Amino acid sequence: MTTDYLIDGMLSGTGLRDTKNGGYVEPLAVGLSASLTDDLIAWQKSYEDAHFSNFPITIVNDLDREGIALSARAQVELPGKKIGYFSNGLMKRMA
């Protein structure tokens, strides 16, 4: 599955990874709304907290559900791009 961007909760990232060029991009810079960007920042902060708590599975599951929903919202806002989701807690692609 080829994607342009992945939503992920990597500790040092922005929450939006550029899969074609590598690295992370600022969500606003690629056209995501301020509302979605704010939600992405808050979600990533929660993922950071989970990281430092050794990724409790119940929390990771909740964060992954939220992350998949964020990727669906990003897909609506960027219809010309393919958006996926990567679980940092499980270290696998989920969408």
Q: Give pLDDT, residue 1.
A: 61
Residue 7: Cβ within 10 Å count: 30
Phi, then psi, of 85 in degrees rounded to 5? -135, 135
Q: What is the mean pLDDT of the chain?
A: 96
Number of domains in the chain: 1
Place of tokens 């559900």: 65
Task: Give the mean pLDDT of 26-33.
Answer: 97
Question: Cα separation of 30 and 14, whole Å?
Answer: 12
Task: Give the mean pLDDT of 38-49.
Answer: 96
Domain hosting residue 52, numbered range: 5-93
Q: Which one-letter DSSP state was computed for residue 13? A: S
Q: CA distances (Å), 79 to each of 30, 31, 71, 75, 93, in order?
A: 12, 11, 12, 6, 20
Under the banding of pLDDT at 50, 70 and 90, the label for residue 2 is confident
| pLDDT 10s digits, 50-84 | 999 999 999 999 999 999 999 999 999 999 999 99
